[in-house]
A and B are shown apart, each in its own frame.
Chain A
Amino acid sequence: MINKWQQLSWAERWLLLEATIWLALARLTLLFMPFRKIAPQLGQSQQETTATTSPYNAQRSERIGWAVRAIARRTPWESACLAQAISAKMMLRRRQIPSTLYLGLAKDNAQKMQAHAWLRCGEAILTGAKGHERFSVISFFADPTAHPLADQAPEPDKTKIEALLLATLQPDTKPDIVSSLQNLSEAEWGQLVQTAQKQHVATLLFAQLDSLGLQTAVPPKLWTNLQQKQKQITLQNMTIYRELSRINQALLAEKVPFVVLKGGYLAAAVYPHLGQRAMGDLDLLVRLENLPKMITALHDLGWRETRPISLTASLEQHHHLPPFAKKGVPFLIEPHWNITHPERPYSIDPAQLWQHVMPYTLMGSDVLVFQPHLQLLHLALHASYNHQFAFDLRSLCDIAMLIQKCGDDLAWEQVIRCAQSWHWQRGVYLTLALINEFWETAVPAHVLTQLQPENMPTNLIALTREHLFWGRLENNKVSRNFSRLSETDQSALTKVKFALSFLVPTRGRLAWRYGVPVNSPRIWFYYLVNFRDMVRRNTKRSWHLIRGKANVTKTAERRNLLASWLGESQ
């Protein structure tokens, strides 16, 4: 090694040093960050770069591949195929040479699944070349080309795609949408499906396309993907309803009534097909006094807390317990005793909720659900107050589907009355106005007139729409706490105070977050843990905000405006 080192040119030595640094960084990142966080940084998903590159770039990329491979063999830490591919990609990106990273799966001789990653630049495989043909590609990531070739399709018009997606998702689709969809280019289809995926409505889009008879218009690869997704969600939801049926039996025996909230109701009762509405968790509501029985029932069925529960801290800080998980079941259960946080302008006494429930048979289980008007109010509350529209298009589709499904059974006068007396008016109005902006006449005009708050900023709906579509770009969902830091009209001192308040939160908040008793001496340790978690969560965003990266700053601004309007007492 020493001998060889002396024969190398300075440029080569420098390259090896750079490769060492990148391999170390890649290793650390892979250790501490989940892959779904890393993936967006690797380039555009399911896009490939060209198979040719200039001779100059080919030569440079060849040297980079050599450096990464040479160092990877010698690092004292493990430098696996993925770390190599990421390192080489970063080194190429610094030099503005586009490359594609591939991830593949294959069964080995013992029929066990094996994963592999390799990097291609032009026609050369720079890392992970050996045996890569054995693996079937499951996803790939390309750098956007710096200089698009003249014969490449133009970038699809985002506003057009946004409008098309909305029109296709309309519960009673207009027939004139068919011809616009039939004329889409392959790139535009890609963009449409990608936007739908970001907004969590891909399966709904698939169902609408299917019912419009557009199967042949969609590029086959995309169609198969969507179809697979729907199958997967159908099977997963069946598992969820099976668990629900068991929980129902257990709680029935204990005489504990419970309400199935949101997705658990929507998927089986509102959407036409079980595979159209995915749920990540099952939210169940019980009366506070029944919470211990609920926990016991979940324990008996094999459900376990994902983190230790401190009941007193939970009650002070939240409206539900931390989620429960069960081995071999791909979803979580969140036991609720309320649907609003405590001590907010829109907080509600949970006793009121129980006056608006009704019996319902969900996939064979006789349970309780909210009556349609409360269902609508809850979904609107969730989209507005809980997430300030940084959520997704799915939450609005949920409401539009509910309105269409219920028809005259939806008591609009109750919606208005409850929204006003519970101080939910602004959030509910904004949500419904947005739905009407997307799908005209979904909400009766008189409802909007009666709900419209006084002194509403005129551009608020347009701003909310923009926020909904472009506030989620590039994975930079900006948290409310975080965006408050960028409020311009606050003095530096307030900002520092605020930053301290979430870096050094109250003992109560810590107790909720980490499930330790408030008075435990251990709680001081969790200040450190919390600090680490905060840094992990916010470093990249802070960096963007400090550098004034335009879309992050704008997202933060929009969010502040929305949140402050929603938060004012009504």
Chain B
Amino acid sequence: MAPVTLASQVVRSEDFITSTIDNDLVMMSLEKGTYYGLDAIGSHVWEQLAQPVTVQTLCHQLTEMFDVDLEQCQQDVLAFLTELQKENMIHVVNDDQ
């Protein structure tokens, strides 16, 4: 599995059923039947991942919406996406750089 880098283009997996509980996003894996929960920022990222997007672009968008500097944001987002990748929740679509 290709590691997620700033240049990776990522898209979310379609194999999930999602809904909300108390402003959190709850997701259920169609394959495994397990539940996942994402907080407000996590769900925002999830929304952005409906279409393929590079991690770099994603981070720029996030710094405009939330009060966070770019470097911190990139670090957090990469960690978060790696986590999602481990659970097969996102796919890296091109990694040619």
Decide yes or no whether B80 CB sits under 8 A from chain A.
no
Contact A241 B26 (CB under 8 A): no
Decide yes or no whether B17 CB sits under 8 A from chain A.
yes
Contact A239 B21 (CB under 8 A): no
Q: Which of A259-314 contact B (CB under 8 A)?
A: 273-275
Measured between C-beta atoms, what is the minimum distance from A429 to chain B in Å?
36
Decide yes or no whether B79 CB sits under 8 A from chain A.
no
Measured between C-beta atoms, what is the minimum distance from A266 to chain B in Å?
15
Q: Which residue of B lies closest to A274 (CB)?
A: B19
Q: Which of B1-51 contact A (CB under 8 A)?
A: 14-17, 19-22, 26, 28, 30, 33, 35
CA distance A245 to B29 in the complex (A): 11
Given the complex, which residues of B lie within 8 Å of A235, measured CB to CB? 21, 26, 28, 35
CA distance A363 to B14 in the complex (A): 10
Measured between C-beta atoms, what is the minimum distance from A229 to chain B in Å?
12
Contact A238 B17 (CB under 8 A): yes
Contact B17 A241 (CB under 8 A): yes
Option from B17, B20, B21, B26 in Cβ contact (under 8 Å) with A364? B17
Given the complex, which residues of A lie within 8 Å of B17, measured CB to CB? 238, 241-242, 245, 363-364
Contact B28 A242 (CB under 8 A): yes
Given the complex, which residues of B lie within 8 Å of A237, measured CB to CB? 19
Q: Known contacts A238-B26, A242-B28, A364-B14; decide if A231 and B33 are in contact (CB<8 Å).
A: no
Q: Known contacts A234-B26, A364-B14; decide if A239 and B33 are in contact (CB<8 Å).
A: yes
Option from B15, B19, B22 in Cβ contact (under 8 Å) with A238? B19
CA distance A320 to B33 in the complex (A): 28
Contact A275 B21 (CB under 8 A): yes
CA distance A230 to B22 in the complex (A): 10
Measured between C-beta atoms, what is the minimum distance from A112 to chain B in Å?
24
Measured between C-beta atoms, what is the minimum distance from B40 to chain A in Å?
17
Measured between C-beta atoms, what is the minimum distance from B3 to chain A in Å?
28
Residue with the greatest number of chain B CB neighbours at <10 A, chosen from A238, A273, A363: A238
Given the complex, which residues of B lie within 8 Å of A227, measured CB to CB? 22
Contact B28 A239 (CB under 8 A): yes
Q: Which of A214-239 contact B (CB under 8 A)?
A: 227, 230-231, 234-235, 237-239
Q: Known contacts A238-B17, A241-B17; decide if A364 and B30 are in contact (CB<8 Å).
A: yes
Given the complex, which residues of A lie within 8 Å of B19, measured CB to CB? 234, 237-238, 273-275
CA distance A234 to B23 in the complex (A): 13
Mark A237-261 against chain B: 1 for CB-CB distance below 8 A, else 0. Answer: 1110110011000000000000000
Given the complex, which residues of B lie within 8 Å of A275, measured CB to CB? 19, 21
Given the complex, which residues of B lie within 8 Å of A241, measured CB to CB? 17
Contact B30 A242 (CB under 8 A): yes
CA distance A274 to B33 in the complex (A): 17
Contact B28 A231 (CB under 8 A): no
Q: Which residue of B lies closest to A227 (CB)?
A: B22
Contact B30 A231 (CB under 8 A): no
CA distance A101 to B28 in the complex (A): 39
Measured between C-beta atoms, what is the minimum distance from B24 to chain A in Å?
10
Measured between C-beta atoms, what is the minimum distance from A155 to chain B in Å?
35
Contact B14 A231 (CB under 8 A): no
Q: Which residue of B lies closest to A238 (CB)?
A: B28
CA distance A462 to B16 in the complex (A): 47
Contact A242 B33 (CB under 8 A): yes
Given the complex, which residues of B lie within 8 Å of A274, measured CB to CB? 19
Measured between C-beta atoms, what is the minimum distance from B59 to chain A in Å?
28
Q: Which residue of A lies closest to B20 (CB)?
A: A273
CA distance A275 to B17 in the complex (A): 13
CA distance A235 to B33 in the complex (A): 11
Residue with the greatest number of chain B CB neighbours at <10 A, chosen from A246, A273, A274: A274
Q: Which residue of B lies closest to A243 (CB)?
A: B33
CA distance A50 to B33 in the complex (A): 47
Measured between C-beta atoms, what is the minimum distance from A283 to chain B in Å?
19
CA distance A395 to B16 in the complex (A): 29
CA distance A237 to B26 in the complex (A): 12
Q: Which residue of A lies closest to B33 (CB)?
A: A242
Contact B20 A245 (CB under 8 A): no
CA distance A167 to B69 in the complex (A): 49
Option from A231, A242, A245 in Cβ contact (under 8 Å) with B21? A231
Measured between C-beta atoms, what is the minimum distance from A329 to chain B in Å?
10
Given the complex, which residues of A lie within 8 Å of B22, measured CB to CB? 227, 231
Measured between C-beta atoms, what is the minimum distance from B79 to chain A in Å?
27
CA distance A241 to B17 in the complex (A): 8
Option from B26, B30, B35 in Cβ contact (under 8 Å) with A245? B30
Measured between C-beta atoms, what is the minimum distance from B47 to chain A in Å?
16
29 examples of A-B residue contacts, CB within 8 angstroms: A230-B21, A231-B22, A234-B19, A234-B20, A234-B21, A234-B26, A235-B21, A237-B19, A238-B17, A238-B19, A238-B26, A238-B28, A238-B35, A239-B28, A239-B33, A241-B17, A242-B17, A242-B30, A242-B33, A246-B30, A273-B19, A273-B20, A275-B19, A275-B21, A363-B17, A364-B14, A364-B15, A364-B17, A364-B30
Question: 9 new A-B pairs (CB below 8 Å) besides A235-B28, A238-B35?
Answer: A231-B21, A235-B26, A237-B19, A238-B26, A242-B33, A245-B17, A275-B21, A364-B15, A364-B30
Report which B residues bind A (CB closer than 8 A): 14-17, 19-22, 26, 28, 30, 33, 35
The 5 closest A-B pairs by CB, nearest first: A274-B19, A238-B28, A238-B17, A363-B17, A234-B19
